[in-house]
Structure 1
Amino acid sequence: MSRLETDVRDPLTRMIRGLPTVLTPDRQATVALWSAKTLMVAYRAPQFGPRPRAEEEVILPADPARLHRDRALGPTMLMALANYQPTEYTREPFFTQTFERMEHDTGQYSYCATLKIGHFAAQFVRLPDGMYPPARQPPPHLTLLQPGGSSVHWPPPTPVRAGAEWKAFARLPERTEPSPSRPAPE
């Protein structure tokens, strides 16, 4: 894990400060893994507060274990980045995280974990096994990380602004339609 912290330092420092950054496929993998790891550790930390009941759990214990074992996001995990724009009129925390759980009609659930550090915002979405996100273009305020794909530029064309925009961004939608199952990559 110390190597991960070293490898993420340069791109993360630039993004926290709001400076444009090119994320190569390797850097995308590093930023995605670091962001997911940071959110999972924050979720389990005692500072997060009392643990939810098992039926209300957000991040399942199997997910950090899988992340540690594979050193990569699983096939039903997505990481997207946004550029957070604070207001100049209010003081706000430099670091925040949110965790949202969304029930599906199938009895399964998805979760969304959002991390903000300075201008850097990472949104981690985990869908139930066998359910995959629809293949469509991400909204203009998100840069979808696709390790193994082509390089991406950060920040995205549209920032996420403080206040109502941020609150809407950090939440899952009320409902999602299940996407057709597709076989997991081997």
Structure 2
Amino acid sequence: ADFVTVDLLDSVLRGAEPGPLGDGSVPLRRTGQQSVRPGVPEAVVEIGAVASYAAGSPPVRALVSGRSWSEPRRDPTSAGWAKAVPGGRELPADALGLHSVMIVPIRARGITLGITTFFRRDRQDPFDAVDLGLAEEIVSRAAVCIDNARRYTRERDAALVLQRSLLPRRLPDQDAAEVAVRYRPADELTGVGGDWY
């Protein structure tokens, strides 16, 4: 591929279970993109921004159905499947010469987490079944890692809530000294481990 994007559901980024998906417009969060050209000129959405796709578009169908979709020769008139985003622009497929596309849903343990889209521009031959199989294999391996991170986030949040709930709510009354407390986790990044109270 000459240009690749990775879009995840917002709930996945929060560590939550993805909810049911309808056939309507589905906002996704752009979590990654790469191009063979410097500066990623094909990108219409910045990393971290919402990538919206029109209802019934190939990305939404792939997301809802959980099945890959490909178009060996992309019709430039089909560029409308990517909605214009605030401050963004429509993907000018014909102007950039993107002529072949594959959309692979990111699925792990029966849950769809997002989609990965592969475009081809420089190589004139379109994507074929072998390319699609390889893309599905790569994405399925990455999906397990993403799902593990999602589950870890959820479990970490639950552990933090439990840990903080075990701290005393108030100090016992005493006349001998004024006492103040502060909770400091040893690891500020994860918020747990070797704590001081």
Fold-level similarity (TM above 0.5): no
Rg larger in structure = 2
Query: Under a length normalisation based on structure 2, what TM-score does the superposition of the two structures give?
Result: 0.28
Point out which structure has higher relative CO (alpha carbons under 8 A, 6+ apart): 1
